[in-house]
Amino acid sequence: MRFMIIIKASQESEAGVMPSQELLTAMGNYNEELVKAGIMLAGEGLHPSSKGARVKFSGDKRSVIDGPFIETKELIAGFWLWKVKSREEAIEWVKRCPNPMPGTEAEIEIRQVFEAEDFGAEFTPELREQEERVWEQAKKN
């Protein structure tokens, strides 16, 4: 099972405050543990929403909204993509994580990633082949 582990933003991360050397060291050590355990597939921090944009869809129309975005508690400061045996295992690993926002409350959300078999008959053999081709090309890039 794959899970996206979402680190929620804080006022400090949205203000562009960079992590301390201590936090970078602790997170580096934690990431090493995840890799050694064969769990971590990807993981990155994100720039504040002031450097981002959203594209709003309304029928065929598209409109661009530049950041920053107001609701800090709804924003993402970083993420991991993990492969674990269960939701419970993901929870246990998150509980071992250093506090990503020292000096304040922090929240990390755990969301399961859809797998091909989750889509049922609508995900036809042709669509599966297309997805495999796309991911093979992405790996080469």
Quote the DSSP letter at residue 141: -
Element of type H or E holding 27: helix 21-36
What pLDDT, on a 0 to 100 scale, did the predictor assign at position 109? 97
Give the single-character DSSP code of 14.
H
DSSP-derived secondary structure letter, 32: H
Per-residue pLDDT in tens (0 to 9) along the chain, 141 residues = 999 999 999 999 999 999 999 999 999 999 999 999 999 999 999 999 999 999 999 999 999 999 999 887 789 999 999 999 999 999 999 999 999 999 889 999 999 999 999 999 999 999 999 999 999 999 999
Domains of the chain from N-terminus onward: 2-140 (3.30.70.1060)
How far is 23 from 101, CA to CA, in rounded Å?
Answer: 9
Which has the closest alpha carbon to 16: 44, 43, 49? 49
Give the pLDDT confidence score for residue 103 in this predicted structure.
Answer: 86
The pLDDT value recorded for residue 70 is 86
